[in-house]
């Protein structure tokens, strides 16, 4: 007779097989971490080459043995990926991922709590609440800030944008939408602000014309006199300003805006003050940097991405809101098929009411565990080291006759390769230097020795090195300077021959 308690699902893996595979996988990953320095940062393979490696098999009709599957998959990923955990990876803003985060993701996936509602994830919800509270403490704002973890900086900024709009638009917004008002509502940010703000303007119906791009000063900070003037002009013209966005580490150069000045302007005109600190706000944990961020405690909302400068594996961003009720006002709904909010317990939080998602993964765990692994002091140390390395790179570039050090803020340095003798030349051709550096960047990104990205500063096309990497050493920085100069010379020779 068929056993009643026997499960014959082909998905179930026996305890012993799971242990064997798991141990083997952990051995492979441990070896990967151990040897990551010796690997190329990227193989530089083209999408076509990658497709060939993967093969074009059609959908499997039947199963594959799990050991074979793991062997193939680890080979594909470990030998054909860009390694952002490599000590010479400085591209865009993706950190070396914590190892504890990798283990936390395994545990989170095994338990698989749905952190949309407290009843579905009692401990995971409590851990996410604590994580949000710790993030607020980390950057030094009041513990009354509440919020939610999201997939990254785009989602954090979009989530805040709608909270700001709900708070500042007429109360009839939910019923009536924004008829007649949608084209009147305008918002302000510096020219250096991340493109997700454009996404917000387009997706939420305001259109790009609703963005007031405020010029930056010589240090790439928002010019707050022009901000004030622009708001005054808009008010005179019948517009309805509702939001100002400040940058805590702008995406190109890492500049931090003057939050005290922005906060005062927002107070004066009753505007929502949002800080995009997706990258840079964790530096506020460093005592010597407190002043740079002063005024941040005035913000109505702050975006902070643990998958950037808290080194969490992708994906995890966060949005912290001074009065979290604004998130609930914006996102909460109570359909009849949800039997969630009935505990009559004021510490009950249902995270589906705080943002776009209903079903939500347990992103908090990898952040919560890393914060405990090294504590605030551990982060003060490693964030400080990233900044010191970036400053070291800037100084090395300044000393080098074939490099131009352009900007240095937080852990971002921008620089250019300038051919020997070129700077003094009367016929210096900016267009040529820009083309040279653009081609040089393409070469470096394919070469596999180092991975940088780019920034355009004024009219200069620069190589941009963003260090959010706990594996980088001074030796890496010195080697990178040599690589840039060596490849710069080569590229110059190639372009001269054309």
Binding of ligand PLP by 251 (CB under 6 A) = yes
We find the least distance from the C-beta atom of residue 305 to ligand PLP, in angstroms, to be 5
Nearer Cβ to ligand PLP, position 118 or 190? 190
Q: Nearest approach, Cβ of 436 to ligand PLP (angstroms)?
A: 26
Side-chain-side CA neighbours of 452 within 13 Å: the count stands at 28
Task: Give the residue, chosen from 234, 257, 258, 305, that forms a contact with ligand PLP under the rule CB under 6 A.
Answer: 305
Helix (H, G, I), strand (E, B) or coil at 277: coil
Cβ of residue 200: shortest distance to ligand PLP, in angstroms?
11
Residue (155 or 491) nearer to ligand PLP, CB: 155
Q: Please report how close the Cβ of residue 194 comes to ligand PLP at its closest, in angstroms.
A: 4
**What distance lies between CA 210 and its chain's CA centroid?**
25
* Stretch binding ligand PLP (CB under 6 A), from 105-113, 134-142, 146-154, 173-181: 146-154
Q: Please select the residue that binds ligand PLP; options are 97, 241, 254, 317, rule is CB under 6 A.
A: 317
Q: How far is CA 154 from the centre of its chain?
A: 8
Q: φ, ψ for residue 409 (rounded to 5)?
A: -145, 145
Taking residues 433 to 472 in sequence order and writing x for each that binds ligand PLP by CB under 6 A, - otherwise, the string is ----------------------------------------
Whose Cβ is closer to ligand PLP: residue 155's or residue 169's?
155
303 beta partners? 276, 319
Residue 478 main-chain phi, psi, to 5 deg? -65, -40
Q: Which is nearer to ligand PLP, 93 or 320 (CB)?
A: 93
Nearest partner of 467 among 33, 120, 94, 62, judged by Cα: 94
> Would you count residue 158 as binding ligand PLP (CB under 6 A)?
no
Of positions 153, 282, 313, 361, contacts ligand PLP by CB under 6 A: 153
Report the DSSP pairing between strands 403-409 and 412-417.
antiparallel
The distance of closest approach from Cβ of residue 491 to ligand PLP in the complex, given in angstroms and rounded to an integer, is 27
Q: What are phi and psi of 34, to 5 degrees?
A: -65, -35
Interface residue with ligand PLP, options 41, 93, 387, 480 (CB under 6 A): 93
CA triple 396-398-402, angle to 5 deg: 95
Of residues 145 and 279, the one with the C-beta less far from ligand PLP: 279
Question: DSSP character for 293?
Answer: G
Part in contact with ligand PLP (CB under 6 A); list of ranges 105-113, 199-207, 275-283, 340-348: 275-283
Q: Of these, 117, 263, 278, 462, which contacts ligand PLP (CB under 6 A)?
A: 278
Strand ordering across the sheet containing 301-304: 146-150, 317-321, 301-304, 272-276, 240-247, 185-190, 211-214
Using CB under 6 A as the binding rule, whether residue 363 contacts ligand PLP is answered as no
Is residue 355 involved in binding ligand PLP (CB under 6 A)?
no
Report the 10 Å Cβ neighbour count for 261: 18
Max CA-CA distance within the chain? 94
Q: Hey, which residues does 322 pair with through a beta bridge?
A: none
Q: From CA 175, how far away is CA 205, in angstroms rounded?
A: 16
Cite the beta strand spans of 23-87 per DSSP E.
Answer: none
Binding-site member from 85, 101, 146, 152 for ligand PLP (CB under 6 A): 152
User: Alpha helix locations (H) across 204-343?
Assistant: 224-236, 259-269, 306-309, 325-331
Task: For the CB of residue 160, give the shortest distance to ligand PLP in the complex, in Å.
Answer: 11
Shortest CB 413 distance to ligand PLP, Å: 15
User: Total binding residues for ligand PLP by CB under 6 A?
Assistant: 14
Selected range binding ligand PLP among 120-128, 136-144, 274-282, 429-437, rule: CB under 6 A? 274-282
Out of 234, 257, 258, 276, the residue judged to bind ligand PLP by CB under 6 A: 276
272-276 and 301-304 beta bridge pairing = parallel
Distance (Å) of CA 310 to CA 96, 175, 314, 335? 9, 40, 11, 36
Residues that bind ligand PLP (CB under 6 A): 92-93, 152-154, 157, 194, 196, 251, 276, 278-279, 305, 317
């Amino acid at each position: 007779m068929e056993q009643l308690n026997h499960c014959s699902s082909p998905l179930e893996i026996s305890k012993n097989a799971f242990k064997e595979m798991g141990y083997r996988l952990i051995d492979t990953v441990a070896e990967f971490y151990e040897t990551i320095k010796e690997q190329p940062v990227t193989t530089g393979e083209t999408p076509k080459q990658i497709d060939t490696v993967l093969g074009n098999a059609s959908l499997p009709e039947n199963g594959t043995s799990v050991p074979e599957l793991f062997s193939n998959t680890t080979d594909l990923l470990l030998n054909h990926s860009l390694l952002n955990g490599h000590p010479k990876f400085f591209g865009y803003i993706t950190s070396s991922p914590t190892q504890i985060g990798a283990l936390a993701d395994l545990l989170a996936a095994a338990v698989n709590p749905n952190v949309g509602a407290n009843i579905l994830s009692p401990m995971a919800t409590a851990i996410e609440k604590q994580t949000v509270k710790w993030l607020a403490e980390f950057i030094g704002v009041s513990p009354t800030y509440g919020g939610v973890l999201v997939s990254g900086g785009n989602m954090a900024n979009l989530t805040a944008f709608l909270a700001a709009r709900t708070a500042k638009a007429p109360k009839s917004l939910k019923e009536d939408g924004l008829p007649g008002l949608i084209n009147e509502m305008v918002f302000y940010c510096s020219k250096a602000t991340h493109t997700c703000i454009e996404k917000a303007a387009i997706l939420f119906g305001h259109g790009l014309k609703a963005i007031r791009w405020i010029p930056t000063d010589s240090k790439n900070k928002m010019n707050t006199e022009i901000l004030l003037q622009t708001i005054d002009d808009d008010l005179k013209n019948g517009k309805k300003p509702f939001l100002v966005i400040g940058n805590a580490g702008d995406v190109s150069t890492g500049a931090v805006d003057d939050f005290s000045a922005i906060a005062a302007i927002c107070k004066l005109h009753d505007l929502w003050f949002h800080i995009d600190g997706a990258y840079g706000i964790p530096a506020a944990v460093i005592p010597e940097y407190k002043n740079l961020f002063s005024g941040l405690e005035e913000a109505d909302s702050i975006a902070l991405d643990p998958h950037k400068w808290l080194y969490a594996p992708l994906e995890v961003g966060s949005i912290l809101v001074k009065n979290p009720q604004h998130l609930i006002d914006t996102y909460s709904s109570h359909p009849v098929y949800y039997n969630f909010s009935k505990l009559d317990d004021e510490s009950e939080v249902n995270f589906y009411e705080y943002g776009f998602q209903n079903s939500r993964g347990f992103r908090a765990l990898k952040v919560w565990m890393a914060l405990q692994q090294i504590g605030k002091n551990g982060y003060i140390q490693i964030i400080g080291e990233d900044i010191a390395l970036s400053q070291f790179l800037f100084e090395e570039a300044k000393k080098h006759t074939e490099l131009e050090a352009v900007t240095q803020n937080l852990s971002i340095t921008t620089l250019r390769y300038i051919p020997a003798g070129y700077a003094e030349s009367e016929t210096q051709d900016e267009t040529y230097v820009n083309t040279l550096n653009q081609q040089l960047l393409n070469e470096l990104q394919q070469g596999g020795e180092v991975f940088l990205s780019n920034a355009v500063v004024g009219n200069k096309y620069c190589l941009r090195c963003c260090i959010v990497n706990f594996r980088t050493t001074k030796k890496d920085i010195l080697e990178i300077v040599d690589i840039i100069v060596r490849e710069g010379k080569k590229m110059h020779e190639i372009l001269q021959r054309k």
